[in-house]
Amino acid sequence: MNHSRFVRFHNQLNALDDLLAGLSVQQLQQQGQPGKWSIFEQIAHLARYQVVFQQRIDLICQTDQPHFDRYIADDDPNFAPWLVLTTTELLAQLKQDRAALNHTLATLTDIQLRRTGTHPTFGAMDLEGWTEFFLLHEAHHFLSIMRLAASAKNG
């Protein structure tokens, strides 16, 4: 895997600690706008999506050019259980699953990294591309969390 991408994947989750610093449980649960996710819900989505990403990696490695639907958390019956975890449980699981993903990515062969899966918007992507997509998706949610945290802290 591209070294820079792997280092980003390995370390990007650490930014979440800074984004959440000083926030109460109430602030994490606070809705920024009606119908939009709270910080907690954003974190639950990121945690669930890591599991989905691992499943997609596995399928890409085992299947010839699988096609994936766009992931929509609200349509995923396996998303709801993440919402009943405590923040501490959610963050612990997020970090545990990230460590497992780091191991998966570190052990993929060059041949596996070149295997492709098709995204409905971005088309066929190899595992390098899927990893980049994952990082950008996660960073987008980190920016949303940063905005919500600033709003919660500033009233």
Residue 21 in any domain: the answer is: no
Residue 20 in any domain: the answer is: no
The whole-angstrom separation of Cα 153 and Cα 155 is 6
Residue 10 in any domain: the answer is: no
Residue 7 in any domain: the answer is: no
Residue 28 in any domain: the answer is: no
pLDDT at 33: 86
Residue 112 in any domain: the answer is: yes
Nearest to 128 by CA among 60, 50, 51, 55: 60
Phi, psi of 151 (to 5 degrees): -65, -40
Residue 69 in any domain: the answer is: yes
**Tokens (6 digits) for 29:** 């649960």
Residue 8 in any domain: the answer is: no
Domain that holds residue 124: 36-154
**Tokens (6 digits) for 126:** 């190899």
State how many domains the chain has. Answer: 1
pLDDT tens for the chain, residues 1 to 155: 999 999 999 999 999 999 999 999 999 999 888 899 999 999 999 999 999 999 999 999 999 999 999 999 999 999 999 999 999 999 999 999 999 999 999 999 999 999 999 999 999 999 999 999 999 999 999 999 999 999 999 87
CATH of the domain at 64: 1.20.120.450
pLDDT at 85: 98
